[in-house]
Amino acid sequence: MKHSFPLCFGLAAAMVLLGGCSFRVQVQGYRSPEATAPMNPGMSVHLQAEVDTYAGSCPVAGDELTRMITELLTERGYEFAPKESADLIMVYSYDHVGYKGRVRFEPQTGPTGGMKTVGKGGPYKHSLWLRAIDAGKFMESGEEQVVWAGSASLEAAPTGSARFVAMLLVAAFEDFPGNKDEIVTRKMYLSDSRIVALGY
């Protein structure tokens, strides 16, 4: 217990230092030319997480991710409704992978030999995926006609911190619902006031 204060202080100091560092987030947004539904402020949206979002693949809980997306869509003039009456269904997913976690076992030297489990560690790749589908078509026929799809990713985050989740969301929603076929690189800072406003 006597080490808890120095440890907390050290972690806090590290996050302050990281706040001043810039990170290159890759962002893409694409409007489907085949979609008949528009994608405009004032439309109603139903949020739907992919199953893995609630299975520990995101550094924040599923309901916390939902809260942040809700805030960002509300700021852009979108409303929310049950799936049965919504104009759009936004499906979202988030994943972060520690590069050292990709190898689960490695040979163990010494008298016992055998294999040992390798702990998950950084650097981390953070990835966010979003897609808005026509809710009317989905409710009528089960067809997932994509109206807009977007993504954001960061290849080498130093930690698996939840603050990077907020960073990717802010980057993805910066010009939502933008239409860029090419990937755009955005320079982001953890100290960005928009990230702080999301609670991080």
pLDDT tens, position by position, 15-67:
444 556 899 999 999 999 888 888 999 999 999 988 665 555 688 888 899 99
Q: Residue 71: phi, psi to the nearest 5?
A: -65, -45
Query: What is the C-alpha to C-alpha distance for residues 174 and 188, in angstroms, rounded to an integer?
Result: 11
Give the residue ranges of the chain where pLDDT is below 70.
1-20, 51-57, 100-122
The reported pLDDT for the residue numbered 145 is 95
Listed residue (174, 193, 198, 197) closest to 184, CA to CA: 174
Listed residue (158, 154, 199) closest to 17, CA to CA: 158
The reported pLDDT for the residue numbered 102 is 47
- Give all strands (DSSP E) within 50-104, no chain letters: 79-80, 88-98
Query: What is the C-alpha to C-alpha distance for residues 64 and 71, in angstroms, rounded to an integer?
Result: 11
Query: What is the C-alpha to C-alpha distance for residues 86 and 90, in angstroms, rounded to an integer?
Result: 10
Whether the model pTM is above 0.85: no
The reported pLDDT for the residue numbered 106 is 40
CA geometry: angle at 11 spanning 10 and 15, to 5°? 115
The reported pLDDT for the residue numbered 147 is 95
Query: What is the C-alpha to C-alpha distance for residues 148 and 175, in angstroms, rounded to an integer?
Result: 13
- How many other CB atoms are found less than 10 A from the CB of residue 96? 24
> Cβ contacts of residue 35 below 8 Å, gap of 6+?
134, 145, 146, 147, 148
The reported pLDDT for the residue numbered 60 is 87
Q: Residue 144: phi, psi to the nearest 5?
A: -95, 80
